[in-house]
Amino acid sequence: MVRLLFLGFTLFLVGVPTVNAQDGVPSYWKWEWPETAFENASVDFKEIISGGPSKDGIPSIDTPIFQSIALQSSVLAPTEPVISIEIGGDARAYPLRILMWHEIVNDVIGETPLAVTYCPLCNAAIVFESRVKGQRTTFGTTGKLRNSDLVMYDRLTESWWQQFSGKAIVGEQTGTELKVLASRLESFERFTQRFPHGKVLVPNEASRRAYGKNPYLNYDSSQFPFLFRGPLPDGIPALARVIAVNETAWSLTLLKSKGSIRHGDLEISWSPGQNSALDAEDIGHGKHVGNVVVQRIEDHGKRVDVPYDVTFAFVFKAFRPEGTLVQ
């Protein structure tokens, strides 16, 4: 695993981190992050651990390059997963084969700055509007994890943000929450059908990384999540996929058996045609998981996409401990 290789090297360099007895902040954090206001935090620092890499050790993509669907049709398998978003008629797909190695893409569509994020250890694919209190910013990776989830940082204040919740947990912006934008985790084929003139993210330097290969081989078949310390959910495998919408989640197994689920004015639907990015070595040949769409049904039957996340059961329990998981 990418993080596992980095982790051994990091521990060799820093050994066991020393802690400032006055504030509980590991001393090397202050050395590495001199601009971060550690006196402001909403979580116990003991919950945050090294994922292996140092600051920006997993580099964000800050100057994204796109190609047409036609040029990428010979590269991506039809069932390969992409994060897709459409704003003002501009539709873009961000393949997990690329996000697996970068975790964050900083982009702008029209007047909307975006942080397209993916945490492989949580299978959390979330798109945020990257404005902090009205100011545009970009995001990078801290190299830290909390509940196995990516901890990001903003380049305005170097505050730390929890990717799964979109909330700042350490630093000047602690308590601030990013706006989540409606996006889909869907197959490349579904994206091409919906947006035949859409754009597809491509690597800036294709030879620099093993794009298309899964460094987390068979991860979503594991019994236990990687670098996770918390309690596991009851009655469902820790790495079973669930569809999370705010404080409620539904197991993918249940949704697949029903085809669709109504919850108030929401409809959660499943259809075949997408494979897992966290199974086989070749991302285009992972086990079948299918496509999920979550929409709000408004007046006169109009359907509008709403934010959701296809994540793992242990993640939902860790970040939504009072939430409801329907199996």
pLDDT band at residue 24 using 50, 70 and 90 as cut-offs: confident
Q: What is the mean pLDDT of the chain?
A: 93
For residue 103, give the nearest of 126, 119, 80, 85 by alpha carbon.
119
Q: What's the confidence (pLDDT) of residue 300?
A: 86
Whether the predicted pLDDT of 1 surpasses 70: no
Tens digit of each residue's pLDDT (9 = 90 or more) over 100-129 = 999 999 999 999 999 999 999 999 999 999
DSSP 1-56: -HHHHHHHHHHHHH-SPPB-TTT--BHHHHHH-TTS-TT-BSS-GGGEEE-SS-TT
Whether the predicted pLDDT of 190 surpasses 70: yes
Q: What's the confidence (pLDDT) of residue 2?
A: 52
Tens digit of each residue's pLDDT (9 = 90 or more) over 277-320 = 999 999 999 999 999 999 999 988 899 999 999 999 999 999 99
Tens digit of each residue's pLDDT (9 = 90 or more) over 236-265 = 999 999 999 999 999 999 999 999 999 999
**Domain boundary assignment for the chain:** 219-326
Q: Is the pTM of this model over 0.85?
A: yes
Write phi, then psi, for 155 (nearest 5 degrees): -90, 5
Tens digit of each residue's pLDDT (9 = 90 or more) over 133-179 = 999 999 999 999 999 999 999 999 999 999 999 999 999 999 999 99
> Is the distance from CB of 161 to CB of 54 less than 8 angstroms?
no
d(CA 176, CA 168): 6
Q: What's the confidence (pLDDT) of residue 51?
A: 93
Whether the predicted pLDDT of 6 surpasses 50: no
d(CA 47, CA 32): 18
